[in-house]
Structures are given as C-alpha cells and as structure tokens.
Structure 1
Amino acid sequence: MMNELLWPLASMQQGINLVNRQILASQCRMLRDYLNELNTSGRLPHDIEMMTLQINGRDAELLSPCGSSTQRYLLYLHGGGFALGSLDTHRELAMAFARHADARVLAIDYRLAPDYPWPAGLEDAQAAFDWLSGQGVTAERLAVAGDSAGGGLAVSMLQQLHQQGKRQPAACVLLSPWVDLSCSSPSMDLNAATDPVLNRVQMHAFAELYAGKKPLDSPDISPLFGNLQGLAPMHVQVSLQEVLRDDARRLVSAVQQQGGRAEIKEMAWMPHVWQLLYRYLPQAASSVRQASRFIKSFSAAA
C-alpha cells in the first residue's frame, strides 16, 4: 500500500523540468485521475456516516462518527501540490480525525491548478469555512486542518480571516505544511536524499502552476511570508527526513516570534504526510491521535 501511494508522485521526479507548461499540466491531470481511481472506495465503515454537499459549486462531504452527539467540527483541506488530491484520496484520513477528535469533518473538493490557479482553491476553502459559520458552528467548536499544500492553504485562509476581521477557529492542525512555495527552505537540499516523495524541481513546477503570474515569494502564494499574528493555535507535524521539514520549523518559529501559539512534533524516518497511512503504520495512527488530542483540547464539543 505504501508503494502504491507514494509511487505516482515519486515517478514525476525524473524529467519534470524538461517538459513545457502545457505538457506538465496534462501530466498533472492524468496523475490526478490515477490517484482518484486508486483511492476510490464505494463503502463507508460502519462507524462513520456521510452527508454529501455542494458548497460554492464544489462537491463536499461531512463525515461524522455514528452515534456521537458531538458538535465539534473540523474543516479538512487535502494536500497534493495544489494540483492533485481529492475527497477520495484523503477520505480515510478525514474519517480517522472524525473518530479520534470526535468531530464532524467537512472536506471540500476545492479547485486545483493548472485549470484553476490561485486564488480559486483559497476561495473554495473560505466558502467551506463560511458555510460552517452559516450553519451556526461557532469558532469555539471549529478547528481547521490540512496536509502539505492543504496545510499551506489552511494558513492562508487563517490569514485571510484575520484580514477580514473574522474570528479564528479554535485550533489548527498542519501535517507537513508547504508554506514557502519559493522552495527556499534549507531542507529542500539537505533532505533531498532522504525524502522518497518530494523534491525541489517537482515542487517548483507545482508552485508555478498554482501561482500563475504571481511571484512565488508573494505572501498570497507563500503564507510563511505573510502576517502570522493573531492566528489560531497551531499543532504542526513533520518528518525529520522530508524536504518540507524547514517549512514547518520556520512557520512555527515565525508564529511564536509574532506572539502566537504554535507547537511542532517531529518524527524520524517517516515519509511526507505519513498520516495518510493511518490504517497500516502504527506511527501514523499515533500521530493522528496526537493531533486529535490537540483539537479536542482547544475546541468544544457542545
């Protein structure tokens, strides 16, 4: 299972800088379809119930623990380099958070590059947040989470909420967040030999597809360079061996320096977003439980 999950992304490492933008875009669409097909499952586990929704014209799912009266909500934003990923690829992880955080988890199929570059995905993320608010979900009962590009999208959304004068959610969980799309973190090179999934060339290509005409170091594209004051308390998980290690470290340090609350948990010898292997890897299950405890400690269930 691990090889099936990691191979498609790893296979893009060779030659991705030799193709033009149009071919790269076509490859992204093909890989997206492959990943979706690989992860499609027609059955829900007996302990989870699902409501399908349309938010801002996008498919969304609300996953809830069966028999629970919880009024805690979690908005989950999937990763995939802003060009890959879907409800299908991340449903199992969303369900794991529903179980362990005792939360109703809203996942949205936000628009992806290259067809929809920035700010389309961010608009969809905020639309999901606003939908929850419109349903009467208060900030005290709401958390936000995201992995990789979804983690960066979550931080951008928190920054946008702050700019709009809206209340922050109670907590934010980030799994291997990608917050510097200029790919300038030292670990991009230092961990190149130990990351089986990602590399600088590949990520720079994804970043350009997402950013469009905006500079990669723009705060709109790379939330690490934006205002990090007044954001929700953050729990960040990252592998010591992945190229995004220093994105996570720099984010936590910057939030702390600007007076915010952030903690980081580093795991040795895990692949990028190892939490996706929740069903197969004890370390992944442990990390999900740890993140869920953080969510429960800050957000109310009633």
Structure 2
Amino acid sequence: MPSLRHELLAYAVPRVRRSRELDDAERERGRLERWHSGLDRSLPTRLVRHLHQRYEVEVDRTGDFPTHVLTPRTHDVEATVVWMHGGGFVAPIDAFHVRYADRLAQQLRARVVLPDYPLAPEHTWADSHDALVEITARWTASGPTLLGGDSAGGGIAVAVAQSLRDRGHEQATGMLLLAPWVDLTTSTPSTAWFNARDPWLHLGKLKAYAEWWAGSPEDLARPEVSPALADLAGLPPALMFCGTRDLLLPGCRLLAGRAAEAGWPLRYVEEPGLIHVYPLLPAIPEAARAWRTTEGFLGRSFG
C-alpha cells in the first residue's frame, strides 16, 4: 500500500504543476510557444545545496544546443552520468532533475552531463537526436558512463543507446530509466484504462505532445521516437522503475517484455499504486526503496 506521504504528493503534485487534460491542441501549442519564448534556460540549482562549491559548472556550446557539464572539484572523476531530462518533450530541465543527477554523481564519483535539448512543439526529435548521440558517444568513449533519463528523457536515452549500437560507438556501462516514455503511438490496449487512474498525466496531452515531437503521425513509430518498438538487442544492462498509477506503464511493460525476448538485461521494478516518476519525489519511503535498489545496480555495474 502506498505511504501517506506518497498519497499527499499524488494529490499535490498535479495541482502544483497545474496538470489538466488538453482542451484545444492549437491553444496548447500557442501557450507552450509563449512560455518557451520567455524561458530562463540557465541550470536550475535551487534544490542542490552548495552545488557550485562541489562542481565546476560549465556550458558546452559546441553542438546545436547547450549542454551543462558539472565536474567535481574535490575528487578525481571516475565516471560520467549523462542524464536526459523529462518533461513531455515540452518542458526544460527541472531542479528535481539536477538534484537526482547530483545524487547519482555522488554515488559514482562522477561528472554530470545534462543536455538542454530543444523542445516541442517548435522542434522535433530530428533537431536533437544526432547531436545527443554524439554527445553521449564522446563520454562513453572516455570511460564508465551511466546513461539515463526520466519520462520523455528515458525514451530519449533508450533511443540514443540504440543509435550508439547501430553506429558502432562505445556503449554506456549501464542505463537507468525512470518511467520512460518509450511508445509514443499509445497503441497498447490498456492505455485508456491507466489514463483513468493517473492523477497527473492526461492522454489527450500525451497524444498532442507525441505528435509534435515525432513531427507527423507517420513518424510516431520511428525507433528514434518510440524505441520500445525497435530492436532492443545489444543494449547495456539497465534498471527501470514505474508505478501502476502511471499512464506510461503500458509502454514500460511493453519495453520489459520485448527486452526479455531480445535478451537485453533489463531489470524492471513495478510498484503498485505509485504515480509517475516516483523515484524523483522527495521524502517518501517508496523513493528511498527505489534508491536502495539503484545503489545495488550501480554497485554491480560500476564496481
């Protein structure tokens, strides 16, 4: 049974985030474009105390978009965490992403790489995928690398891993996926059932965001857009979390099932009654339990 703290957040988070179903696609597009035009794209660090004391924070602008690189000041770097942030492909890096990536980095004595990829609806996957593959390849070639992401970023991470494999690049040492959005076709039959039980995500918005990210309905099933539908063989060991009050659960189950068929070593942890990206939520016992599982996975993967 979910904890009381989880249930309080399951009530509060959708309201704080002003989550609601799509009323009109063009009106939503206009709202997002106005929001994006005034966005502060600097790294949000308010939830990470003393971050600038622990890390040298740089912005790599060699690609088509900025990438934040956090290098530890107090010890040698032993690994790299490349984290693809979530946000439905329409929202930028959040302070919760920075805090979680910092926690992973402390565990691995790693640097953090946070690509600030361009967002939908103004942009599609084609505006960032190749660059994200090259960014990740640069770090996987330099040493042990954890490739991961939450929600939309988790789907990007899987698609990047597939392209690393297909293009002959060094693979990541391991992957960490928090409720990844890996099937943008939303064709799994149980999707509507989970939509009725998710207090945060809404199917109408998901379909609009998915089509904007894909660029057209015909491209929704592309490997770069819906990596759960693509070849999963040869990907690095991975750990994935999802709760059962999450609209993205059908896609996670699809990914887990197809991973087993392909021989991809993916461990899938499904928690009854928990909401979207619950391992990112603060001060709940379910997130603490997920972190203990994550520590074990990192210890096995990175020694």
Q: What is aligned with 2:195?
A: 192
Q: How does 1:273-288 map to 2 (within 5 A)?
A: 273-278=277-282, 280-288=283-291
Structure-1-length-normalised TM-score? 0.85
Matched, 1:85 2:92: yes
Matched, 1:170 2:173: yes
Q: What is aligned with 1:145?
A: 148
Q: What letter is aligned with 1:272?
A: H
Q: Distance in 2 between matches of 1:73 and 1:222?
A: 26
**Closer, same or farther in 2 for the Cα pair 1:104/1:289, shift >3 Å?**
farther
Q: What is aligned with 2:258?
A: 254
Q: Distance in 2 between matches of 1:57 and 1:218?
A: 22
Shift of 1:165: 1.6
Q: What is aligned with 1:154?
A: 157
Shift of 1:89: 5.2
- The 3-state SS of whatever aligns with 2:105 is helix
- The 3-state SS of whatever aligns with 2:219 is coil
**Closer, same or farther in 2 for the Cα pair 1:197/1:35, shift >3 Å?**
farther
Matched, 1:114 2:121: yes
Moved more, 4-13 or 67-76: 4-13
Equivalent pairs: percent with the same residue? 26
CA RMSD of aligned residues (A): 2.8
Q: What letter is aligned with 1:223?
A: P
Aligned pair partner of 2:212 in 209, 212, 218: 209
- The 3-state SS of whatever aligns with 2:60 is strand
Q: Distance in 1 between matches of 2:108 and 2:288?
A: 13
Shift of 1:5: 4.6
Q: Distance in 2 between matches of 1:189 and 1:119?
A: 29
Shift of 1:122: 1.8
Q: Distance in 1 between matches of 2:295 and 2:66?
A: 25
**Closer, same or farther in 2 for the Cα pair 1:289/1:75, shift >3 Å?**
farther
Q: Distance in 1 between matches of 2:68 and 2:288?
A: 22
Q: Distance in 1 between matches of 2:109 and 2:169?
A: 25
Q: What is aligned with 2:57?
A: 51
Shift of 1:269: 2.3
Matched, 1:241 2:249: no
Q: Distance in 2 between matches of 1:32 and 1:197?
A: 22
**Closer, same or farther in 2 for the Cα pair 1:151/1:254, shift >3 Å?**
same
Shift of 1:26: 2.2
**Closer, same or farther in 2 for the Cα pair 1:255/1:34, shift >3 Å?**
farther
Shift of 1:195: 1.0
Question: What number of residue pairs does the alignment pair up?
Answer: 290
- The 3-state SS of whatever aligns with 2:125 is coil
Q: How does 1:10-49 map to 2 (within 5 A)?
A: 11-15=19-23, 18-20=24-26, 23-30=27-34, 40-41=44-45, 44-46=48-50, 48-49=54-55
Moved more, 89-98 or 39-48: 39-48
Q: Distance in 1 between matches of 2:171 and 2:238?
A: 11
Q: What is aligned with 2:270?
A: 266
Q: What is aligned with 1:220?
A: 224
Q: Per-residue displacement from partner, 1:212-235 (whole Å, max 9, x unpaired)? A: 134312333211111111111111
Q: Distance in 2 between matches of 1:291 and 1:35?
A: 33
Shift of 1:9: 5.3
Shift of 1:143: 1.4
- Note if contact 1:118-1:210 (Cα within 8 Å) is conserved in structure 2: yes
**Closer, same or farther in 2 for the Cα pair 1:27/1:125, shift >3 Å?**
same
Structure-2-length-normalised TM-score? 0.85
- Note if contact 1:81-1:203 (Cα within 8 Å) is conserved in structure 2: yes
Q: What is aligned with 1:75?
A: 82
Moved more, 255-264 or 216-225: 216-225
